[in-house]
Structure 1
Amino acid sequence: MNSLPTADAALAAAPAPPVDGPPIDVAAERRRTTGSTLASHFNAAGAALPTHGVVAAIVEHLRLEETKGGYEAAAERRGRLDDVYASAATLIGAESTEIALFDSASTGLRVMLDALRPQRGQRIVASSSTYVSHALHLMSLAREQGIDLVIAPYDERRRVDIAALEALLSDGVPSIVTVAHVPTSSGLVEPAAQIGEVVRRYGGTYILDATQSVGHLSVDVEEIGCDILVTTGRKFLRAPRGTGFAYVRDTLQDRLLPTAPDVRGARWTSSASWELDASARRYETWEGAVAARLGLGVALDEAIARGIPSTAQWLVAAGERLRAGLAGLDGVAVADPPGTRSAIVTFVIDGVAPADAVVELARRGVRVVSVPATHGQWDLGDRGVPSVVRASPHVYNDEADLAALVDGVAAIAAGVTR
């Protein structure tokens, strides 16, 4: 029998820092999260576990649709649907008129970028941390419309190099700068506010993909200075799949026009004319999963009530503890860039394919995912890393969960399988 390092010893090397504000009540979060009692779930960066309140809101509305019909149920819940916009705006420091609801961040990014109508002679600067869906859209625009696509220069920590970005933008070429705040492929956190300062200085348009950061880190659109922010509901917000939202700065509305206006956000006024809604709802479509959006609203309100500063500090501390615990294991290498401070932890195990490690950990009741280079060629591919195991805790993960993950990885690294 191999002698394995225990998780308690490994995790003790990274004590959690004190939290400013009310501490996270992990036990209470677990009581209202059914899935937390069934496995050690470390996939908040993919789809986090929802609370009882989120699920109840969805089921309640589906029952209403069952008895009254979809349109009638939506009309009855119109006030609660309007509240979703207000909650999203409160969470990120925006106005409700600057919020549009989508079925995913990928849809939101596509709609927003198309509404900017980038043309030949313009330039798109994208962070190396860009996710595959957005990258494919950017590459398609570059190939089909002759737009110059540039991967933003990065520093020794693989973050956007602020000085190099400023030098790039200083040539006066009209530029759209699009950045993934936190990528899917590592725990990197981009210097979003510093990027915003540079983009503003040179008159560019700044899109922030906050898919992995909203609900995870403190995100304020005024502090960051982005013109557009897009995020999903299913990840750190703990909302249902099929939900997401975008923020569009109100001063951008006059020149940001949807390429496919819909009855949701436009009024057909004559045989050859139409009027767009004055708010960001102009980018939406009529059809949407009302039940899921009501679940999103509950998740947003719960995140606000829990407190994002406290949540962020707790999550970052959990990530640091996991990173330190894994780094102390023989045959395990943490794949995150140096200095990473987030709840997304990526690693590799010598001689074990990440996909196989995911399966083996699942046998031990620990749920993680593998991320292949095909999801981040400008990051993992550029680093020559074929794939990584990704673990992302949330507020329902307790010390036993952290220990189960580290112990499971230690066992796999030592060749102990189930």
Structure 2
Amino acid sequence: MDSIEAVPVTSPGTGTETDVAAERARTVGAGLSHHFNAAGSALPSHGVMAAVVDHLRLEERYGGYEAAAVARERTEDVYAAAAELIGVGAHEIALFDSASTGLRVLLDALRPGRGARVIASSTTYVSHALHLMTMARERGLDLVVAPVDHRRRVDLDALDALLADERPSILTVSHIPTSSGLVEPAEGIGEIARRHRATYILDATQSVGHLNVDVGAIGCDALVTTGRKFLRGPRGTGFAYVSESLFERMTPTAPDVRGARWVSASGWELSQDARRFESWESAVAARLGLGAALREAIARSPERTERWLRGRAGLLRSALADIPGVTIADPEGAVSAIVTFVVDGVECRAVVEALAARNVRVVSVPATHGQWDLGARALPSVVRASVHVYNDEADLGALVDAVRAVAAGRGGEAHG
């Protein structure tokens, strides 16, 4: 690759650009490899790691509960920061150990019974799809995979027609899938869901910290995301937004002392906020790391981050498409920071291994992680590269050069 020139990306009203050098300076891992796995688990910053380690030191000295008491104010700020980032109230935020846990807890709390209709996007992640299919099999739910348009996105007209019978429905959509750079039309889906009074749950695992996610504009009733991906938080963290109007109608299937109060021999009261879905035990240090990551994401500006990441990925997608023997696997019009591709005659796992030999970190995504998407497109797997704010021109160049070498049959030649 000759060069990938910097794209000046400014935040409206600020006149400032994403400072990649500054992001790299506070990211140890950025100097150790060409890391393109933000969609799996992004590199954390010094600030995030310090928040985690400092609290663990407190636990070491004083004990877990005592350290939690000292950190209570900072723990409360995690709710405030999550709410600020996506434009909701802090009382509508619940913390979880993962997005998959959050989706499972919320869907169970909706208690869909036999004959209830659940409509899922074709981009649904494997863990959520397995839960949905299990519920359909064991509870007799009517599980429908939403029709897609020519770009593999939810077909808005077909969805509108599907919901026109006004049958009560739960609509669950993956904003950005694990298997491609596609972005679902979340706002258009929200408009249709509101019109037909469908309960709309957005899996924002790959979009919060990546796109400028505004719950008010999207119109979802609930949103679930993880901490470890584009938010750059620790593994084992995540959060959910549940609108007040929705959580008041939901009862967790396993109330916990964190979200309920035992008031009589056979009675209990649920918390009057979204914390009714939480469990008492949690990794406080990891949650404080999530809080630090959320504050950093806010400081970076979601609008500026989105524009920067889309610009970088666009350059990468174009450069990879120019390599003979490489095919971009993203559906038409994909514009997110996730770029998927295949190399003719080379298994995706072998591509990943060859790039790793050149210190370039990407992953392969098998069809078993997205049968309604990759399986439907007859793709056994794809290579996935995901860009973040710490990836500079040298990173992009190294990735493209490594893929070119693999495509030319020189994949095993690592740089000295």
Taking structure 2 as the reference length, the TM-score comes to 0.97
Q: 1:152 corresponds to which residue?
A: 146
Q: Partner of 1:239: helix, strand, or coil?
A: coil
Q: Does 1:127 align with 2:121?
A: yes
Pairwise CA distance, 1:19: 2.9
Q: Partner of 1:359: helix, strand, or coil?
A: helix
Q: 2:10 corresponds to which residue?
A: 19
54, 77, 80: which is aligned to 1:60?
Answer: 54
248, 253, 267: which is aligned to 2:247?
Answer: 253
Q: Partner of 2:376: helix, strand, or coil?
A: helix
Q: Does 1:395 align with 2:385?
A: no
Q: Does 1:137 align with 2:128?
A: no
Q: 1:280 corresponds to which residue?
A: 274
Partner Cα distance (2:304, 2:166) in 1 = 41
Q: Is the Cα–Cα contact under 8 Å of residues 7 and 404 in structure 1 kept in the other structure?
A: no
81, 84, 95: which is aligned to 1:90?
Answer: 84
Q: Is the Cα–Cα contact under 8 Å of residues 84 and 294 in structure 1 kept in the other structure?
A: yes
Partner Cα distance (2:163, 2:45) in 1 = 44
Q: Is the Cα–Cα contact under 8 Å of residues 7 and 325 in structure 1 kept in the other structure?
A: no
Q: Is the Cα–Cα contact under 8 Å of residues 183 and 335 in structure 2 kept in the other structure?
A: yes
Partner Cα distance (1:57, 1:162) in 2 = 43
Q: 1:43 corresponds to which residue?
A: 37
Q: Does 1:346 align with 2:346?
A: no
Count of aligned pairs: 409
Partner Cα distance (1:251, 1:222) in 2 = 14
Q: Which amino acid aligns with 2:169?
A: S
Q: Is the Cα–Cα contact under 8 Å of residues 9 and 304 in structure 2 kept in the other structure?
A: no
Q: Partner of 2:384: helix, strand, or coil?
A: strand
Where do residues 1-400 of structure 1 align in structure 2 (5 Å cutoff)? Answer: 6-8=1-3, 11=4, 16=7, 18-21=9-12, 22-400=16-394
Pairwise CA distance, 1:172: 1.9
Pairwise CA distance, 1:255: 1.0
Partner Cα distance (1:132, 1:220) in 2 = 25
Pairwise CA distance, 1:253: 2.0
- Give a deviation string over 1:222-243, Cα, whole Å, max 9, x none: 1100001000000000000000
Q: Partner of 1:143: helix, strand, or coil?
A: helix
Q: 1:3 corresponds to which residue?
A: none
Partner Cα distance (1:352, 1:101) in 2 = 41
- Give a deviation string over 1:338-396, Cα, whole Å, max 9, x none: 11111000000011111111011011010000000000000000000000000001000
Pairwise CA distance, 1:7: 4.5
Q: Partner of 1:255: helix, strand, or coil?
A: coil
Q: Which runs of 5+ in 1 are unaligned?
A: 1-5
- Give a deviation string over 1:5-48, Cα, whole Å, max 9, x none: x242xx46xx7364334210000000000000000000000000
Partner Cα distance (1:189, 1:366) in 2 = 25
390, 404, 413: which is aligned to 2:398?
Answer: 404
Q: Which amino acid aligns with 2:78?
A: V
- Give a deviation string over 1:158-217, Cα, whole Å, max 9, x none: 000000000000012110000000000000000001000001101110000000000000
Partner Cα distance (2:9, 2:69) in 1 = 46
Q: Which runs of 5+ in 2 are unaligned?
A: none
Partner Cα distance (2:359, 2:366) in 1 = 22
Partner Cα distance (1:79, 1:384) in 2 = 50
Cα distance change, pair 143–413 in 1 and its aligned pair in 2 (3 A): same
Cα distance change, pair 7–41 in 1 and its aligned pair in 2 (3 A): farther
RMSD: 0.9
Partner Cα distance (2:55, 2:172) in 1 = 36
